Amino acid sequence: MARRGRKRKLAPRHPGGELVRAAPQAFGLAARQPHRVWLPEAKRLDQKAGSPLGCLNLLGVLSNAQYLAGVRYAVVVGKYRAVIETPRAMAGAGRGYDCPGDLKCGREGGERCECRHRKERYDAAFAAVLEAGQRAARAVARVAVHGEACPRGALADLKRGLDALARHFAVKNGSGCKTGSR
């Protein structure tokens, strides 16, 4: 008697009768993502290729010091947002931070208030990038903090703002950040 339905495909099968399917290659999938396609093939799988700031660094448009300063600024902004509870408080900082909101927070002997410390770090970094100009601050915020592509004609402003942040964070080209109070 003939079987009903479609003809059975001639392919390897599991003991339960299901077709054996090839597992998707994660590397090939990552290399074909739209924000990585325009990078050279050798650099598409780099971790930095996940953000516009990293892509600019991989292409050699931004130096390592500028890249590290932008990443550090995104973390500082994210930590500050976690304190003031903005909707995107998770950006670059991990989970939110619950400040006790006590007026004597940080004023008691030897006690350091984390929320005040985060605000001071944000204020200092924002002042540093603002010294490079309003357009530079806007370009750094769009690319480093919000993860948007660099606006047309704003690359010089972005570099200027990232250079100001690199000086502020004491980042040297090709190295990480100095450990310090910033």
Judged against a pLDDT cut of 70, whether residue 32 lies above it is answered with yes
- pLDDT at res. 93: 46
- Which of the residue ranges 6-10, 45-49, 60-64 has the most confident prediction, judged by mean pLDDT? 60-64
Query: In the chain, what percentage of residues exceed pLDDT 70?
Result: 77
Summarize pLDDT for 83-139 with one digit per residue, the tens.
777 555 445 545 566 666 566 665 665 567 788 888 899 999 999 999 999 999 999
pLDDT of residue 178: 44
Single-letter amino acid code for the residue at 123: D
174 near 64, Cβ under 8 Å? Answer: yes
Specify the higher pLDDT residue, 70 or 31.
70
Residue 31: what pLDDT? 74
For the residues 5-9, what does the mean pLDDT come to?
80
pLDDT at 8: 77
Per-residue model confidence (pLDDT) at position 136:
96
Average pLDDT, the chain: 81
- Domains of the chain, by residue range, sit at 51-95+115-169
For 2-14, what is the mean pLDDT? Answer: 81
User: Is the pLDDT higher at 127 or at 24?
Assistant: 127
